[in-house]
Copies of this chain bind each other. A is one copy, B any other.
Amino acid sequence: MKIDHIAIAVNNVESAAKEYQQALGIDNVEFETIESEGVKIAIIPLDNGRIELMEPTNDSSPIKKFLEKRGEGLHHMALETDNIEGEVKRMQGCGIQFLGKIRSGSAGTKVTFIHPKSLCGVLAELCSHPK
């Protein structure tokens, strides 16, 4: 199990990316819109993972609701496993609750989300990258 990325809700992904790039001294950034999740993301690469800045693309996006309630800030952590199906099965056997089934994320990844009530208030993405 590895830390894959840390996801942060922001009001404006372009200006947030500039702030993060300047603060962390990082030149490269990639932008991607994931319509199915209602977000535009900026991916800030670090040596062992990524920071993802997320701006809602529509009013029904969960990120929009998060921003209205809590303002900008840490939204979820993402953990990577080689075997997402096996991990989900093992976790369900321990009573861990999930938000939705395993589904396709960006760039061929498979993703699902662990309910915050199973991890002390923390929303956690579980993901597998294509081999």
Interface residues of A (CB under 8 A from B): 1-3, 6, 8, 10-11, 16, 19-20, 22-26, 46-49, 51, 53, 70-77, 79, 87, 90-91, 94, 96, 114, 116, 118-122
Decide if B6 touches A26 in the complex (CB within 8 Å).
no
Q: A26-B1, A46-B79 are in contact. Are A53 and B120 (CB under 8 A)?
A: yes
Smallest beta-carbon distance A34→chain B, Å:
19
Give the number of times this chain occurs in the complex, counting copies: 2
A-B pairs with beta carbons under 8 Å apart, 22 shown: A2-B47, A2-B48, A3-B6, A3-B46, A6-B6, A8-B122, A10-B120, A11-B120, A16-B120, A19-B118, A20-B120, A23-B94, A23-B114, A24-B79, A46-B79, A49-B49, A51-B77, A72-B122, A74-B75, A74-B77, A74-B121, A74-B122
